[in-house]
Structure 1
Amino acid sequence: MARGRRRSAVSMTVPQLLNEVQRGVASAHVRYSKMLWELATSDALATCEQLLTAMKHFATVAEPTLSQTRLLNFFGTFANDAEGRDAATTEDRLNFIAVLLEPLIELTGAKDHCARWRFCQLVHALVGNLPQNVEPSDALDKALGELEEAMLERLDDSQPRVRSVAVRALARLFVPGEAEDYSDCELTARMIEMLESENSTAVRKAVLATLPYSSFTHPYFVERTRDVSDDVRKMVYMAIKQRVPLPGLSTDDAVLLVRRGLGDRAPAVRAEVSKLVMQWLEDSCDGEPLRLVHQLDVQRHPEECELVLRMLLKEGQVNAVHLGRLAESDSIGLRADFSRPGAVMGPASALFWRVVCEWLKDEATERGLSAARRVGQAAEIENSKAAEANQALDAALPPTVADMADIIAQHAAAGAAARFACAQLMQLAARCMDFGDAAGRSDASLMLRRLLTDVPTGDNAEEAAAWEAAWRSPSWLRALALFLRKVYGSPKELADGMLPICGDLYTSGGFATEGFEVAEQAWVHALGVAGLLLEQLTSARQVAAAGEGHFSLRDLLDRLVQPGLRHRSAKVRREAVRCLGLYCSLDGIPTSLSSHLVVLRQVLITHGESATVRAVAAQALGDVALARGPKEVDRCLMAELAGGLLPGLDPELQQKAVVDLLLDVLRQWAEEFAGAAAAGAKKRAGVRRGSRGSADDLEALGGLGAALVEGLARLARTHLRWQAREEAEAVAAVQRGEQPRELAMEDIDAVKVLVELTLLHFNPEVEAASLATQVLPVFFQNYAELTSEHQQFLATAFLPAARLAAGEDKVSGKRITAATCTSSKVMGFLAQLLQTPYGDKQEPVGHEVLVDLLLRELYVCSAMGYEVPKPYLLALCRTVAALDVFPVGEPEDTDITARRLLELARQLLTEVPDSSMRKDLKVLLDKLHARARAHRLSTQPLTPEEIAVLIEQLQNFKEAEDVLADYPLPFDAIEQPEAPAAGGRKGAAAKTPGRGRRAAAADDSSEEEEDDGPQMPQDSDDEEDGGEERTPARVPPTASRRMPDRAARSARKPLVEAATSSSDEEEEDSEGEAAQDSEEEEGEEEDALSPLAENLSPAVRRPSKARRQSSDSVSALRQALQENRIS
């Protein structure tokens, strides 16, 4: 039988065997591979030739078919079977593969892109599937060297699919180096470079699948978790799941992957991260969720651990119903015996049971609502599931609220180690338990009283530090606030319960004793409890008038808050300023608001004050302005000016409105932070002592910037809401015969805020202020998605922000290129925001008003003799080409029409100094004609009189008295030399008037070809107007200063025509090459201009070729050989 099978294999030819492979299934590939190796052993030369011929036929099929996929998989199986029974057989087989690879490597450079792609696939199939434990032979090692050179060339191929396969073919050629982290490998450096610059999603996926994981390459994997492509982000998590176990990642890295992955917008990415976490659970934690949460450091990263637990519950890895029943039957979790001394839950266990109980509560609610919407058997099923979840929840929770209060009290008494668990239990009780029982609420109230009046004495430094950290922890304060609102059903009950606690703290802490020095911890704790009360109130009227001997809200202000403002400790002053800001936000306070606002302003503008205290003051001023209205705050501040200015403070800042005050302090902060960051960098470079303190000071200073940015952002975001409220109150006031109040800030103030925040977003000197820089992109994205009115405010801030950024570029003295031009980045960023769909309607917003302004700006900068950087002009052109205009027809409330924008664009076609700018203007012209056809708008050219008026308006544009009056052009004018009479070529060329930012010597050849006469270019206007008779649009008399230039060109024209044909051809070739070179340089600058460039043109321009396809592989191969595409 064996000899018969052998005769059958040998009698089968290579083509027959490959045909069987394409028709068969994958399970037969191993058998066919053995047959092919037998043929190769018997006649290696003939087998190699036949395989090569078949591979050439394979390379002519462009369509990815099932047969081609089977063939590729078979070649991979064939290479994987290269390991023979002994060393000699293995070496012979490796040599055979090396001989087969040599012609394939040469063919990867074929002219046809389909052939290159297929041959790279074949090379990858053979090399990528070689046995891992086999040492390459000398011949194979030489072939692999040639392969590396060939694939490195293919990494620059014009076709993305060729590049992606070439990347995968290099997977076996990475060298770990001496450090074994691949940091010295040239291939690693090349892959990282491609990962950062590659436009193709398929290529980035291939790089991530190929790049080896190490401590050196880990940051590049993490960086791709923010990739714009869902498939690339998914590939990151797939690669990490296959290569790195949980112990191989640091806690911070694992938490970062969980946070980004489980919070990803794409379901496919979230599903892949779920698989990654479940693999961690099975492989590294033996299927125990508590161990997984513990390894993720639950106290430092509770939000991420909660995401993991909820994902495990959703995927069914953890059964919440079973756990609830198990807690009651086995006395675990919240049903454990806590009467024993020291019996407390650990941090991971407390978070785990909170998430499980909240899951059961949400499941019961959701099932109950689902049952209410259904009828019949479906409703009964949902009701039974809701009842099951409720029973499990009751089994998991303590029997009564009093029992839960005892458990919380025991954890609170356990000290710093159980502080996190105590917060989790309070949050669990507030969300999952019913506080309708009066006895239970009374017990919980007593527990809270003991908790809030327990102040550490300071003898235990560790306990004092943990206590202070808890009172500064948002999670602890949030849990405490939730529990307070549950225990006290109304604000009045809350005030009645909390004010006596504040009174007890005042009495027991020694505040009332004359001459007694109260400890800093007692001050901070008392003010923290006062702030907790003030946060839960919305009006001072909710607090009942205190009787004789009771602690009132006025006592809270006079005895705790105001003395704390004068304390020598910055921590005490910080808490006192926070309480004062919360107090000022309440309605109906019994004291003068103006005096308190002056104190907050004084703290903010005092430069000797601590940055943390100033940050709280900035936040307090912003909150009060948000609660009462910016104009109301201004009225209160101005009322205090009658008493005179405070000595020792900037008088200018004391007289400013709240918005202008915050803006000025923000500018001062940016300068101060830049200096502090530079000084800190020098200290770190010198390795001086005290760098930790410098870092803390820089972090505190960054917190001040974050408070300022957040306050201004919130004021800008709510500006329209305050305007609507002001209008509504004005109507009511008029009906009552009263004077209306001003509440909202002016529109120009909102624009100023947007401009300043935009410039701060692109300020490289404040990048180290992470809190401030993280707020800005979130704010701008959210702001652009609100309403069309908010987008109009962004459009109004567009040109002022661009001019200010250009002015800063000019002052910096740096060489302005596409990569360093801040103004172009600002314009690209704002243009993307203006194209963001807003609200739920997803309606387009027409920005024709902004396009009109930008075209005027472009005219002034390019035609009126200003030294303007080229990237600034390019960004203007790209913006007008990208923005949407007239989506629903022409607006009735403006004089901007399609005719006007068309004329502006036509005028600019002869003024802009670059061919790419003219392309963008033609895109705008096409868009305007399309809108005109869709909405039947008039496109008749303007009359000469209208053109003259338009040109006069353009010339006076730089002297506008609107918003732009505060943001003048930052560019210098070019001195215009006197134009000579049209004459000799040399003199005319030397004295041609300047055009915008350069003299005519800098004009490209394409402009000279287009600008031969005074008439305006017609483009496709005649076709758009249906060939109607029209008046040609000519340059008005105001532009006659350009005529000497044109006269000089017309004078030179006969000299060119008189030249010989050969010289003409040489000159045209040289001009064409020069124009091509200039366009390539311009293209490189365009690509790096701004994020807007990615929407208009690809970052990498590669020549495209027509794909030649044929259904007949034999005829396709013959055609390819005739065209010398495979050689």
Structure 2
Amino acid sequence: MARKKAQGSSSVSVARCFNEAQRSISVHKKLVKALCKRLAEDGAMLVLKELAPCLAHLMLVFSRDTHVERVVRFVVSFVTHPVDESDAKLLEEQEQLVEALLSWLLTMTKASEKSVRYRSCQLIAGVLSHLPAHVSLPNNLIQELRAQVTCRLRDKVPQVRAQAARALARFQEGGDDGEFADDEITAAYQQLVAGDRNKEVRKVVLASLAVSTHTLKSIFMHTRDTCDSVRRTAYLVLASKVPMSALIIKQRNDALRRGLRDRMPSVKQAAQVMLKQWYKETQEQLKAASGERPTESETVLSVLDSLDVEAYETECELVVKELLDSNLVNAVSLVRELDASENHTLKRKTEDADGGECLSSACALMWRVLCAAISREAKEQGKAAALTSGTESTVHASQVTHKLDTLEQVLPSSSEGFVSLVDFHVQSKFGLRFVVKQLLLLACECVEFADATSRMLGEVVFKTLASERGNENLFRAKIAGEDEEDYECGLFCQGSNGMWEAALMKFGAKVFGSSRTCMHQLISLAMNRIVPGASAEDLVQGCVLLNTCFETCPSFGCIDSEMIPELAAHVMNACVTHEAVAVRRESIKLLGMFMLHSSCANEGLLAVFTTALKSDHYQVKTQAAKFFLDLAHMNGPKYAQRKFAQDGSISECPVEMLKECLNVDAGACELLSEEEADSDDKKEFRKVVVEGFLKLMTNNSKYGSDYAWTEGEQCDIFTKLAFLNFDKECGSYAPMQQCISVFFDVYSMLHPYTYQIVCASVLPVVKEAVRRELKPRVFGQVVRFMTYLIQRAPAQDAEAVVSTRQKVATSLICEMVAQVSEESVWEEEEEQMKQVLPSLVKILLKLDAQSFNRDATKIMGALLSRLPKDDKIFATKDFALVLDAFATGEENTSPALEAQATALYVQYVAMKGGQDTEAVEAEIEEEDDEEAVEEPAQVEEAEEEEAEAEKENEEEAAPEVKVAQVQHKSPPPRRVLRSRNTKA
């Protein structure tokens, strides 16, 4: 006995280890070694026999308690502890322990208690994630694990689903092609990550999903997830598991643009990690190809080439700036490396226009961004040197000198040399338009045109670029093969974004010294090209140059107002009726600029815009819609209606025509009734219209009363936008959905007035949802959405917010009373009531009745007391909570309070029906009198029927039987269906 006691005292208790492990992580390593020693001595079954009861206590805790999480981590560390291969006994016992523990945990995953399911799945996930390589599991156990844990992916508790997803990560099978296309677990993951509402579940699934071409789309789509933590996880997965070569060029640029511009710092940091990983990956590929470590400039150029610089200029510029900001590369060292290379230097021979000596697109962009960064840093440090003193000022001054000296060394020695460099690329074999644009922008940043000679050279280059198009192969596209025909590409063509013209305008302002002089030069050059009979390329080029003048010029004052009618007539004669869509599009855009500049003095052009809006191509419609919306933004949404529609200048108000585009049923709108149902141009047109109305709604309070929308008109537009937010077609076009989402996120919190519009729209939106016969799930989403919006109140003017909520509560209660007090209701209307009234009750619960005025609360409580509490619609817990919130604390309602409640209800009914309050009161009194007259008649008729029946019974009955006295009761009032109100 003494020997057994001594041996027992030397063994370590599992319960004791649990107690110590929950206190601190620092003792885990020591405790794991002690339990491993006991495992080797006593065997797996004895250890599990003591381990299972301790885990059973652990599984009863569902909350994320720190002590419990430490114990879970300790159990996983013990079970999966790496064992030396020389210790065969311990290896065998560990394998048996893992197998037995997983089998026992599998039985726990079926428990009815959510905490047991959660902890069992968590332990299974931990053990399988850290399972040593030497441990093998039986096939039947693996199959059972797959089946049972896969069932937990559909668990109603999100935490259980998340841990089940972690547990199944190592069970995914790639198949013969390694794409995981036929794997059931991968398919379940993709379905879960696409449809699960819980962000933690989506995060875990993204981290667990096997990466392949088949699954990459599921990962990439969540870089736009609504939750920032899910977006961060998606970028971390792309950084750690997805090489840049696995993504197509568009996906690479989309990921970089979204991530590096994300509003959340955590997501932006994750995107930076992805960019750094891609940078290192490119560096390793170059090293493997050449056998030598590449320079920083070579690596950056290779990264830019993989992103297609010419097609994604903005994204590539963002990449270079991010590499500089993250100190992964240095701007000064990069420009020195580029200057030292014969293929990349700016100081090249320009005598022979040989295309092989021209800069590449990536190199030109890199030069522009780097030189601009160095120049900007020099200016900032120069300001810092001026604001400081002593050693700090000296340090800043030396850095400024170093940066400016670097720019002088790498740039051409004079402005003439830089102009020669630009001209060299203009006259090159391929006409490198993109490179020339980068050099023009670089000249605007870093080159001074101080002397007359350099200015004269710059003016020559500017006029050449603005006027010539086909001479000497200027701006021709690069020929891919000798057999292919070359084609002319002007300064602007279909598909261009206008950035070339903006760069040219900026360069012209630099050379001429002012925007006014540059604008007059461009007008004279462009008008020579906008003539009847000219080619479509010439007409488009001239219109775009003039549009660029107006868009980039600081003010319209740079052009004389007397020139506007002449310019407008010139453009209209040559372009408005042209057969090419691009010509009509740019001409309508330019004429809109003229109209806005002249305050719409040329009323003859209004018919042109109206015709373009009604019957032209969607690209032209878009420009016409922009003009009318810009006009509304400047003067008010009713400006066009008051100024043009009433005096006959146009037959229909254009803003009212565009308002029809807000309807969910786009086919019913005249402007959207063409067959091009899914064209990108149509979606862009509708997006422009929706965005314009969102801006008008936001700024409506800034306009005068004559030109602003009324509250009712704003509620009508808000209702349309609310349903457009749930429209599938709208959701399929991301730019439009993003505009609407941003609007709803901020509109209710902008100002007490905008909050009042949101609250006033609650009831119309709910009633419109019933009228449209939405599915219960969609109807519930609409109600929850409106409830969410009325809870987002502005921070300023709390009294106005409470007053608005009080009005909303009053209208909701009056509507409920009106719904149940109808004389007769059709059968389908009763179904609608069953849907509407519970929704109104749920909204009432969110209005915080405790903050309302006490007298108003009493009146609303009196109105609520009129609702039939025995009706199953109101026999709910929510309605009981509403009654408690508006309880007056008095058993009986006073006559004065009842009179006030009646007056309030009469006022609501009158406002609802557009009638006079006195007329409504008279109608209600008349109905009460009719009921009072009809009730005695009904009683009298019933008494006569009872008397006749009694007389017949007396004649049939035996003489000795006495007839019992019958107590007559008036029959309950009958509800007669009234005729529907139908429109002619």
Range class of TM-score, shorter chain:
0.7 to 0.9
CA distance in 1, matches of 2:599, 2:399: 49
Alpha-carbon contact 2:547-2:590 (below 8 Å) kept: yes
CA distance in 2, matches of 1:36, 1:1044: 84
Confirm or deny that 1:603 pairs with 2:612: yes
- State the match for 1:532 in structure 2: 548
CA shift for structure 1 position 191: 3.5
**Following superposition of structure 1 onto structure 2, how do residues 870-885 of structure 1 map, counting pairs within 5 Å?**
870-883=834-847
The one-letter amino acid of 1:151's match is V
**Following superposition of structure 1 onto structure 2, how do residues 299-448 of structure 1 map, counting pairs within 5 Å?**
299-327=310-338, 335-337=346-348, 339=350, 341=353, 342=355, 343-368=357-382, 385=399, 388-393=402-407, 395=409, 397-414=411-428, 418-431=432-445, 433=447, 440-448=454-462
**Following superposition of structure 1 onto structure 2, how do residues 214-613 of structure 1 map, counting pairs within 5 Å?**
214-286=212-284, 288-327=299-338, 335-337=346-348, 339=350, 341=353, 342=355, 343-368=357-382, 385=399, 388-393=402-407, 395=409, 397-414=411-428, 418-431=432-445, 433=447, 440-456=454-470, 463-464=487-488, 467-469=491-493, 472-505=496-529, 511=531, 517-536=533-552, 542-544=558-560, 553-587=564-598, 592-605=601-614, 607=615, 609-613=616-620
CA shift for structure 1 position 469: 3.9
Alpha-carbon contact 1:788-1:838 (below 8 Å) kept: yes
- State the match for 1:948 in structure 2: 902
- State the match for 1:687 in structure 2: none
Alpha-carbon contact 1:350-1:424 (below 8 Å) kept: yes
- State the match for 1:125 in structure 2: 126
- State the match for 1:195 in structure 2: 193
CA distance in 2, matches of 1:870, 1:369: 70
CA shift for structure 1 position 567: 2.2
Deviations 1:247-297 (A, max 9, x none): 222333333332332222322222122112211111244372222222223
TM-score by length of 2: 0.76
CA shift for structure 1 position 532: 2.5
Alpha-carbon contact 2:40-2:89 (below 8 Å) kept: no
Alpha-carbon contact 1:663-1:756 (below 8 Å) kept: no
CA shift for structure 1 position 477: 3.8
CA distance in 1, matches of 2:82, 2:664: 71
Change (3 A) 1:582 1:30: same
Deviations 1:963-1008 (A, max 9, x none): xxxxxxxxxxxxxx99999xxxxxxxxxxxxxxxxxxxxxxxxxxx
**Following superposition of structure 1 onto structure 2, how do residues 149-164 of structure 1 map, counting pairs within 5 Å?**
149-152=147-150, 154-155=152-153, 160-164=158-162
- State the match for 1:959 in structure 2: 913
CA distance in 1, matches of 2:898, 2:799: 37
CA shift for structure 1 position 854: 3.2
CA RMSD of aligned residues (A): 4.8
The one-letter amino acid of 1:660's match is E
- State the match for 2:667 in structure 1: 671
Alpha-carbon contact 2:859-2:901 (below 8 Å) kept: no
Residue aligned with 2:257, SS = helix
Residue aligned with 2:903, SS = helix
- State the match for 2:739 in structure 1: 775
Q: 1:818 aligns with which of 761, 776, 780?
A: 776
CA distance in 2, matches of 1:39, 1:33: 10
The one-letter amino acid of 1:246's match is M
The one-letter amino acid of 2:312's match is H
Deviations 1:72-110 (A, max 9, x none): 357446536479469999777534532343334334556
Confirm or deny that 1:707 pairs with 2:688: yes
Identity of aligned residues (%): 23
Deviations 1:891-946 (A, max 9, x none): xxxx99444444445545849854697616835964x79xx99xxxxx99961211
CA shift for structure 1 position 959: 0.3
The one-letter amino acid of 2:131's match is L
Deviations 1:23-56 (A, max 9, x none): 9988995996698379538845444445546655
Confirm or deny that 1:105 pairs with 2:106: yes
Alpha-carbon contact 1:902-1:925 (below 8 Å) kept: no
Alpha-carbon contact 2:862-2:897 (below 8 Å) kept: no
Change (3 A) 1:773 1:719: same
Alpha-carbon contact 2:632-2:640 (below 8 Å) kept: yes
Change (3 A) 1:616 1:702: same
Q: 2:751 aligns with which of 787, 792, 802?
A: 787
- State the match for 1:637 in structure 2: 644
CA distance in 2, matches of 1:444, 1:274: 40
CA shift for structure 1 position 585: 1.0
Alpha-carbon contact 2:752-2:801 (below 8 Å) kept: yes
Residue aligned with 2:488, SS = helix
CA distance in 2, matches of 1:856, 1:221: 50
The one-letter amino acid of 1:188's match is T
Change (3 A) 1:472 1:634: farther
CA shift for structure 1 position 317: 0.4
CA distance in 2, matches of 1:908, 1:71: 55
Deviates more, 1:491-500 or 1:70-79: 70-79
CA distance in 1, matches of 2:388, 2:855: 55
Confirm or deny that 1:624 pairs with 2:631: yes
Alpha-carbon contact 1:593-1:636 (below 8 Å) kept: no
Alpha-carbon contact 2:787-2:843 (below 8 Å) kept: yes
Deviations 1:295-344 (A, max 9, x none): 22333333333333222212110112333455556678563416252233
CA distance in 2, matches of 1:477, 1:861: 62
CA shift for structure 1 position 669: 9.2
CA distance in 1, matches of 2:668, 2:136: 62
Alpha-carbon contact 1:105-1:147 (below 8 Å) kept: yes
Residue aligned with 1:318, SS = coil
Alpha-carbon contact 1:492-1:544 (below 8 Å) kept: no
Change (3 A) 1:426 1:789: farther
CA shift for structure 1 position 350: 2.6
CA shift for structure 1 position 743: 5.1
**Following superposition of structure 1 onto structure 2, how do residues 70-89 of structure 1 map, counting pairs within 5 Å?**
72=73, 75-76=76-77, 78-79=79-80, 81=82, 84=85
TM-score by length of 1: 0.68
Q: Figure out how many residues of one structure are paired with residues of the other and give that number.
A: 882
Residue aligned with 1:181, SS = coil
CA shift for structure 1 position 556: 2.9
Residue aligned with 1:464, SS = coil
**Following superposition of structure 1 onto structure 2, how do residues 1029-1048 of structure 1 map, counting pairs within 5 Å?**
none
- State the match for 1:170 in structure 2: 168
Deviates more, 1:871-880 or 1:375-384: 375-384
CA distance in 2, matches of 1:539, 1:167: 59
Alpha-carbon contact 2:368-2:439 (below 8 Å) kept: yes
CA shift for structure 1 position 833: 3.9
Residue aligned with 2:463, SS = helix
Change (3 A) 1:764 1:45: closer
Change (3 A) 1:663 1:597: same
Alpha-carbon contact 1:358-1:431 (below 8 Å) kept: yes
Deviations 1:672-695 (A, max 9, x none): 789999977xxxxxxxxxxxxx96
Structure 1, unpaired ranges of 5+: 1-7, 547-551, 643-653, 681-693, 727-741, 811-815, 934-938, 963-976, 982-1040, 1047-1127
CA distance in 2, matches of 1:678, 1:34: 78
Alpha-carbon contact 2:664-2:724 (below 8 Å) kept: no
Change (3 A) 1:657 1:110: closer
CA distance in 2, matches of 1:980, 1:87: 99
CA shift for structure 1 position 952: 2.6
